[in-house]
Amino acid sequence: MRKKCIFSLVGLFALNILSAQSQAIQFEKYTLPNGLKVILHEDHSAPVVAVTALYHVGSKNEDTARTGFAHFFEHLLFEGSDNIKRGEFDKYIANAGGVNNANTSQDRTFYYELFPSNQVDLGLWLESERMMHAKIEQVGVNTQREVVKEEKRQRMDNRPYGSFLTEVLKRAFNVHPYRWAPIGSIDHLNAATLEEFVQFYKTYYVPNNCVLSIAGDINKAELKQKIASYFGPIAKSATPIIRPTIKEPALGGEVRDTIYDNIQLSGVFQAYRAPKQGGSEYYAFNILSTILSGGESSRMTKTLVDTKQQAAFAGSQPFFNEDEGLFITIALANAGVKPDSLELSIDSVVNDLKNNLVGEREFQKVKNQITTGLVSSKATMAGIAESLADNEVYFGDANLINTELDKYNKVTREDILKVAQKYLNKDNRVVLYYLPKPTTAK
Amino acid sequence: MKKLVYLFICCMPITLMAQSIDRTKAPAPGKAPLIQVGNPVKYTLANGLQIFVVKNTKLPTVVASLVINLDGVKEGDKAGVADMAGQLLKRGTTSMSKEVLDEAVEYLGGSLNTSSLSATVSSLKYNFPKLFELMSAVILHPSLANSELEKVRVQTLSGIESNKDDADAISNNVMSKLVYGPNHPFGEIATTKTVNAVKIEDVKNYINSYWKPNMAYLVFVGDIEPAEAKALAEKNLGVWKKGITIPQNFPKPVKPTSTYVAIVDRPASVQSVVAIASTVDLVKGAPNDISANVMNNILGGSFSGRLFNNLREAHGFTYGAYSSLTPNRQIGIFSAEASVRNEKTDSSIQEMLYEINVIRNNKVGDTELNRMKNYLSGGFARSLESPATIANFALNIAKYNLPADYYQKYLTKLAAVNADNVQAAAKDLLFPNQMHIVIVGNAKQIAKGLEKYGPVKYFDIEGNEVAAPTEAKADANLTSAVLIEKITNAMGGGDALSKIKDVQLIGKVNIMGQSLDMTQKLLIPGNAIQTMSMGGMVISKQAVVNGKYEMSQQGQQAPITDEIKEGLDESTHLVPEQTYISKGYKFTIVGAEKVDGKDAVDVELITPSGKKSHRYYDATTYLLVKTMKSQEVPGRAAVVQQEFFKNYQTIEGVAFAKETTIDLGQFKMNINYNEIKVNQGLKLEDLK
C-alpha cells in the first residue's frame, strides 16, 4: 500500500479465505463495450459507498529486468491526471470526507475509496481519470521512486523478519515470476525509462483489464448511467496483455538457509510448495491451516506457545496465488530456545497431520471457526466490493462470495490427511532460520 | 446448517446511454444522505444490570459486551491489579480449565475477551446462546487461580521491563502522572514493585468490589430480538447479586500555576519524545465539545493538521506531530506530541507552542474550516457502517449523561461550527502558560536553553522528581598515558597482573526472564573463550584459541571480520588498555560523564580497523565502569549498546567485575559471575 505495507500476509489472505454464507450478497454484473467489467452491490443499511478498481496486473506480469513495476504503479497512479493536478488526488478524497488506499500483490493491484454515499460520483471521476489519462511524467516517477525506496526500507529492510517473503520466494520458485516479491528491485526502477512506464500503463491499466466494483448506498439505475458517462469513453486497448504461462517444476529437495537480521528472537520459517488457489485442495489447506493456528486452542499455539513454551509466537499462513501456492509456517523462538529444537517441535505438530486423521470434534471446531470468519468478512462494503472483484477476476465467478462455504463443507477429514501427505514433505519445502546479527561482546 | 439461497442477476453486456459530463472538474456531491442514528431497546434487570439491544440483521452474528461503568479505580501500591484481574477472568472458570474453556469457545466458532472493566463475546447467532453462557460463567464463576495469576504476572513484568527502555511508554507514564497527579487513577503507574505485590486475594477483591450488575451495562449488537437478548441476560446473569457501588471520587487535578519543563533523562536517546499537555475543562457532551473537536483536528488531528505541516513538512524535525483532546467524565486532557531529533528539541517546543498560540489568537480561514468539517462529517457517516457504533453512542449517552438526541443532532451541530467557535474553544481550553512540557531524552544534549519555557525539573521513569543530573567532572590534567597507568594500577598493578596465568569466570545470564549459563576462560597469553548455554546446549560461543578465531550463535558461524578479531584479541587480556598503544589504537580522553551517578572519565577508543567506541573509567578509582558503542543499522537510527561493570572484587590481587549489564535499549542482559577462579592450571584443550 502506499501508506501501509504492500503485502502483509494477513491482508493478502483475507481476500482468499474470507467471503461467503448467510444472506446472499445480491449484485449485478455487466461489461461495457470497452471491456470494463462492472459489479454493483446495492445496500442501504448505512450511508456509505466503496468505490474500487481492481486491475489484473501484479508482479508476475513484470519483465524480469523490470521487477517492481506493478507496485510502483500503485504509487504512480496517485500522481494526477489531465484534469487532476499533481498531489490533488488525496485532497479531493479528504475534502469529501473519504478515505482511500491501494495495494499490490503478485497477481493484481487494487485501488479503493470509501465515501459518504453522496460522494459516489467523485469516486467515479477519480477512478475514470486514473484509467483514462493518468499523468506518467518524469517528475512523478522521480518522486514516487523516492517514496518506494523509503517504503522498502521501512517495511522490509528495517522491519524484523521483514525480508522473509522475498527470501522465501526466491528459494521456493526458480522459473515462475513468483520468484520475486511485488516490491521488486530498486535498481530496475532506477534503470527504467519514462517510455517504459508509459508502455506499462498503456498495456495493463486499461478498461479491458479492470473490474470496477462498487458496493453500498447507491441507486443502481442512476449509477449505471454515470458509469457509462465516466468510463464509456475510455478506449479499449489493443495491446496484448501478457500473462505468464510458465509452469514451475517441483522443488526437488529441501532448501535450507540462514538469514541474519536485526532481531532479538530467532525465527523459523517453513514454506511448502502448494497448489494454486481455488481447487478442492486449496480449501482443504485453509482448513488445515486453521487446525494449526486458528486461535488459542489451535495445535501450534497450544503446543509451541502454551505447553512447551518454546515459541513467543507460532502460526501458519496459506499463501495461495493464481498460478501456484505456498503454505508457510512461522515460529519465533523464545529467548534461549534454539531454532533447531523449535523446528523439531513444529515438524512433530505438522507430521501429526500426515499420520493421523483429525479428530471429529476438532474438525467440526475448525469448520465452525471458518464459517464465522466467512460470515463476518461481509461486514463492510469495502470487503464485499473487494471480494466480488477478486472472485470475478480469479475464478470468473463473482458469486463465489455466496457459495464458498459449500466448498469448505465438502472437505473431509481424509482430504486433510491427503493434502498433508501430498504436500507437507521435506523435499517440498524451503526452511529459513532467522538469527540475530552477531555483535562482538566487548 | 442453514440452506443458502442466493439471488444472482447476471446481465449480458449492455450499453447505456451516456450522459454528457464535464470531466475537467470534480463532480458536485449529491444530496447529503439522511443520516439516521437509531436508538437501542433498553431494559433493566432486577439486579440493576442495564441492557441495550441494537438489532441489526445485516449479518447473522451477535456481539455482547459487558461494560463496568467506571473510568478506572485507585490501585495504590498494587497498581496493575485491575489489568491483571481483567486478564485472569477468561483464564478458566470454577468448572472449566483455561484449555477446556478456550476449546469450548472456539468449537462454537466464537471469541471471548476480558479486560479490567469489560467482557466481550461474539459468534454466529445460532451459537450465541451457548457463548453467552460461557461469558456469564466467566463473569460469575471465574477460577482466579493462583497458577494463572503467576503466568499473568510474568507477562505483565516482562511488559514493564520492555517499557523501561521504551521512550514513548515512559513519556505516557510520566505525562499521566504529572497531569493527573499520583492520587488519581489515571496518574498511577504499575511498577515491578506494585505488580509483585499483587496477591490472588487482591484480584478477587478487585472483581468482588467492582464487577457488580448494578454498576454494569450489557450491550447486544446484531441479529437478535431484543426480547431474546433480555431473556438470555435474565437466564444467565439474573442470579448475579446486586452489590454496594463504591463511589469513585477523585480529587480534581489542577493545572500547574505556570508552564514548566519535566525532563526524564535517557542518555541513550537519539530522539526526544516531547509532549505538551494539560488537563482541560471539557467533559463529554459539554456545549463546546464539538467545536473543541474541530479545533483540535485543525491543530493536529491528522496528516492535514497544522502541527504535522509545520514540524514535518515545513521543518523536517520529525516523522509526525499530532495533538489530541479527550473529554472525559470529570475532566479532559489535551496533549501535543512529537518525537524529534535531539538537536531540534528546543525548536520543536517553540513551534508547538507557536501553533497553540496561533489557534488561540487567530480565526481559522473558511477553506481550512470547511475541509475539516467535511472530513469529520464524512467520518461520522462512515462510522455508521458498523452497527457497534450505535451501541457505543447509546453507551456514551448513558455513561456520561448526554442528551438523548446528542448523536442525532451531531451533524447539525458540526455544520454550525464557525471560526469564532473554534477560536473560543482554543481560548477556553488551551493555556500555553500552564502546560506540562514532558521530554524524554538525552538531558546532556537537549536541556540547554529550555529554561525560557519555565522551570526545568527532572523526573525518573516512574514520574518521581529527582535531582538534576550534575555536570560530570574529571581531572583536566590527565593524559592518556597517565590514565592507562592508573587503570593498570586499579586493576591490581603490573606485578599482580603478570602472575595471572589463567582465569575462569562462571556465572548466570538473565535475559528477558530466562536464565542462561555463562562461562569465560582465559589462558594467558592470547587465548580466550566465552560460551553461553542453556541446559547444557551451547547457544553462543566466541573464542580465540591458538590463533584460531571463532564466533557462532546457535550453531551458526559468523564470518570473522577484522573488527571481530580485534574484539576477540581484546578479550584475551585482563587489562586490554595495556596493549592499546602498542597495537595502534587511538585512546583519547574526550571529557567526563556521570555513570550511575558518579563522575567518570570519558575516553574515545578507535581500533586499527576504525571501529569507534567509548570507555568510561571511574574518576576516583579508575576502574572501567562502562563501555558504549553504536551499531550502525542502515537507514535507521544507530542502536546504542552500553555495557556496565559493577561490583569489582579482588582475587589474587587482581580486580574482576562480578556483575555486567549489557543494555541494547530495547532489551537488557545481566551477567552475574558467582565463581571466579585463577591459576588453576588450565590447558589449551580446556578451552572448548
Which chain B residues are within 8 Å of A118, Cβ to Cβ?
A: 29-33
Query: What's the pLDDT score for residue B457?
Result: 95
Q: Quick one: average pLDDT of A418-432?
A: 96
- B619-629 pLDDT tens trace: 888 999 999 88
Measured in angstroms, the CA of A346 and the nearest CA of chain B are apart by 18
Cβ–Cβ below 8 Å for A375 and B27:
no
- Write down the pLDDT at residue B18: 54
pLDDT at B630 over 80: no
pLDDT for A343: 96
CB contact under 8 Å between A442 and B627, yes or no, is yes
**B 647-676 near A (Cβ less than 8 A):** 666-667
In this predicted model, which residue has the larger pLDDT, A14 or B637? B637
At residue B10, the pLDDT reads: 31
Split at pLDDT 50, 70, 90, the class of B20 is confident
CA dist A38 to A119, A213, A214, A227, A393, Å?
Answer: 18, 6, 8, 9, 11
Report the pLDDT averaged over residues A307-319: 88
Q: Which residue from A230, A368, A438 is facing B551, i.e. has the nearest CB?
A: A438
Phi, psi for residue B562 in degrees, rounded to 5:
-60, -40
Q: What is the mean pLDDT of chain B?
A: 87
Distance of alpha carbon A5 from alpha carbon A12, whole angstroms? 11
Q: How far apart are CA B37 and CA B46, in angstroms?
A: 29
Identify the sign of the CA torsion B583, B586, B591, B592: negative
pLDDT digits (tens, 9 = 90+) for A246-268: 999 999 999 999 988 777 678 99
pLDDT at B75 over 70: yes
Tell me which chain A residues have a C-beta less than 8 angstroms from the C-beta of B511.
335-336
Q: Which of A234-238, B59-63, B413-417, B569-573 is predicted least confidently?
A: B569-573
A15 or A172, greater pLDDT = A172
d(CA A271, CA B512): 29
**CA-based nearest distance B37→chain A, Å:** 10
Q: Which residues of B touch A96 (CB under 8 A)?
A: 29, 374, 378
pLDDT higher than threshold 90 for residue B371: no
Taking 70 as the threshold, does the pLDDT of residue A154 lie above it?
no
Residues of chain B contacting A263 with CB distance shorter than 8 Å: none
pLDDT of residue A15: 29
Ordered by where they begin, the domains of chain A are 26-231 (3.30.830.10), 255-436 (3.30.830.10)
pLDDT above 50 for B231: yes
Which residue, among A203, A264, A258, has the nearest Cα to A236 in the 3D structure? A203
**Closest partner residue to B539 among A120, A157, A336, by Cβ?**
A336
Among B10, B34, B385, the residue with its CB nearest the CB of A381 is: B385
Chain A interface includes B476 (CB < 8 A): no
Residues 504-563 of B with CB under 8 A from A: 511-514, 516, 530, 534, 537, 539-540, 542, 551-556, 558, 563
CB A304, CB A311: distance < 8 Å? yes
Dist CA A74 CA A63 (whole Å): 17
Tell me the average pLDDT across B544-567: 82
By DSSP bridging, strand A210-216 and strand B260-265 are unpaired
- pLDDT at residue B547, rounded to an integer: 84
Closest to B276 in 3D by CA, of B185, B348, B181, B359:
B348
Which cell numbers hold the place of A328?
Answer: 508457510
C-alpha cell, A286: 485453509
pLDDT of residue B666: 58
Instruction: Give dist(CA B429, CA B169) in Å, integer.
Output: 26
Three-state SS across B57-119? CCCCEEEEEEEECCCCCCCHHHCCHHHHHHHHHCCCECCCCHHHHHHHHHHCCCEEEEECCEE
Q: How far is A62 from chain B (nearest CA, A)?
A: 28
Rounded Cα gap, residues B409 and B406, in angstroms? 5
| B3 in contact with chain A, both atoms CB, cutoff 8 A | no
Q: How far apart are CA B99 and CA A330, in angstroms?
A: 23
Question: pLDDT (tens digit, 9 = 90+) per residue, A356-368?
Answer: 999 999 999 999 9
Is the bond preceding B40 in cis, omega lying within 30 degrees of 0?
no
Residue A280 and residue B446: Cα distance in Å, rounded?
63
Query: For residue A255, which amino acid is it?
Result: V
Cβ separation of B381 and A47 shorter than 8 Å?
A: yes
Q: What is the mean pLDDT of residues B653-659?
A: 89
Angle between helices B146-163 and B200-210 (to 10 degrees): 90
Q: How far apart are CA A424 and CA A91, in angstroms?
A: 49
Q: How far out from the chain centre does Cα B232 lie?
A: 39
Q: Residue B102 corresponds to which amino acid?
A: D
Q: Is this model's pTM higher than 0.90 or not?
A: no
Residue B37 binned pLDDT confidence (cut-offs 50, 70, 90): confident
Residue B469, phi-psi category: left (phi > 0), alpha (psi -120 to 50), beta (remainder) = beta
What is the per-residue pLDDT for B318? 79
3-class DSSP state of B318: strand
- Cα A30 to Cα A111, A333, A402, distances in angstroms: 20, 51, 18
A contacts of B24 (beta carbons < 8 Å): 83
Residue A155 pLDDT class (50, 70, 90 cuts): low
Determine whether the interchain pair B19/A225 forms a contact, defined as Cβ–Cβ distance below 8 Å: yes
Average pLDDT, whole number, for chain A?
Answer: 89
| Residue B440: partners with Cβ closer than 8 Å, 6 or more residues away | B167, B170, B171, B174, B263, B264, B266, B269, B272, B273
- Give the mean pLDDT of B260-265: 95
pLDDT at residue B440 in the model: 93
User: Around Cβ B291, how many Cβ atoms within 10 Å?
Assistant: 25
Q: At residue A387, does pLDDT exceed 90?
A: yes
Please return the burial class of B146, using the count of CB atoms within 10 Å of its CB with bins 0-12, 13-18 and 19+: exposed
| Mean pLDDT, rounded, for B273-279 | 96
Radius of gyration of chain B (CA): 32
**Span A118-137, pLDDT tens digits:** 999 999 999 999 999 999 99
Give the tens place of pLDDT for each residue, B396-449: 999 888 998 899 899 899 999 999 999 999 999 999 999 999 999 988 888 889
Residue B14 in this model has a pLDDT that exceeds 60:
no
Asked if residues B391 and B52 have their Cβ atoms less than 8 Å apart, the reply is yes
Outline where A319-359 has alpha helix (H).
339-355
The residue type found at B446 is I
CB B587: neighbour CB atoms within 10 A?
16
In which band, very low, low, confident or very high, does the pLDDT at B474 lie, cut at 50, 70 and 90? low
* Run of H or E including A429: strand A429-436
A chain contacts of residue B376, beta-carbon cutoff 8 Å: 97
Chain A: residue whose CA lies nearest to B113? A296
**Is the distance from CB of B63 to CB of B128 less than 8 angstroms?**
no
Asked whether the beta carbons of B148 and B141 are under 8 A apart, the reply is no
Q: How far apart are alpha carbons B631 and B668 in whole angstroms?
A: 16
Mutate to test the interface with A, among B529, B554, B609, B626 (most CBs of A within 10 A): B554
DSSP category for residue B476? T
List pLDDT tens digits, range B206-227: 999 999 999 999 999 999 999 9
